[in-house]
Amino acid sequence: MTLGENLQRLRKEKGLSQEDVARALFVSRQTISKWETDKAEPGVDNLKALADLYEVTLDQLTGRARTGTDSKESHEQTPSDQYRTMALIRLAVWLAVAAAGQLHGGEPFQVLAFAGTLGSAAVFLSLWFRSIYVWGGILCGEGLSILASAICTICAEQLASGMISVGLAAMLGIWVKYLTSQSVRQLFYEK
């Protein structure tokens, strides 16, 4: 199916005339006719406007969208799904460390696991809602997070035992994780 045929089909599905589409895009009816007969092609801005008007993606508008059974790639996880999976695995590992620490009664284990679990939960939630991370950023953040957790553990051992040291370690871990994620996002994602 050509772009023009696809544009015509989508317009008719929405019950719009060429004149209606022309008014919405601030072009002439003849321009819409040329697009639909493949005598001309809309520019990028008009393609975006058409996609919004017809409530479809640009791939669907241009006929490049794949169905779920078209290719092997459609069964692969997207990067955001992979990051969420990695964050869930990380959370499970930290919970296992916490359980092992509880069994052996070691406070450093508990402090490290508590800070790591909260940091992992924060990463998972941020990935779940934003999904804006890259592998390099995640690995960099992971390394700094583990370093911060280790520092928190040493600090907690030096402070009085109890929930104050655990709370302090957890808050410091979350704070470092937040700063790390902000700087990583600027380094690896934003231009």
Same domain, 64 and 102: no
Same domain, 39 and 131: no
Same domain, 131 and 180: yes
- Tens of pLDDT, residues 69-82: 444 444 455 555 66
Q: At which of 11, 45, 72 does a domain end?
A: 72
Q: At which of 23, 52, 72 does a domain end?
A: 72
Same domain, 66 and 82: no
**Cα(149)–Cα(83) distance, rounded to whole angstroms?**
21
Q: What is the pLDDT along the chain (191 residues), one digit of tens a residue?
A: 788 999 999 999 999 999 999 988 889 999 999 999 999 989 888 888 898 889 898 888 887 765 444 444 444 555 556 656 666 676 666 666 666 666 656 555 555 656 566 666 655 555 554 444 444 444 445 555 555 555 555 555 555 455 555 555 566 656 655 555 555 445 444 44
CATH number at 39 reads: 1.10.260.40
Look at the chain and report how many structural domains it folds into. 2
Q: How far apart are the first and last CA of the chain?
A: 37
Same domain, 81 and 60: no
Same domain, 155 and 104: yes
Same domain, 88 and 182: yes
Same domain, 105 and 183: yes
Q: At which of 48, 72, 96 does a domain end?
A: 72
Same domain, 8 and 90: no
Same domain, 147 and 169: yes
Same domain, 10 and 86: no
159 torsion bin: left (phi>0), alpha (psi -120 to 50), beta (else): beta
- Owning domain of residue 111: 77-188
> Buried (b) or exposed (e) across 169-191, using 16+ Cβ within 10 A?
bbebbbebbeebbeebbeebeee
Long-range contacts of 103-107 (CB under 8 A, 24+ apart): 107/156, 107/157, 107/161
pTM: 0.36
Long-range contacts of 30-36 (CB under 8 A, 24+ apart): 32/7, 35/3, 35/4, 35/7, 36/4, 36/5, 36/7, 36/8, 36/11
- Tens of pLDDT, residues 158-167: 554 555 555 5
Same domain, 141 and 176: yes
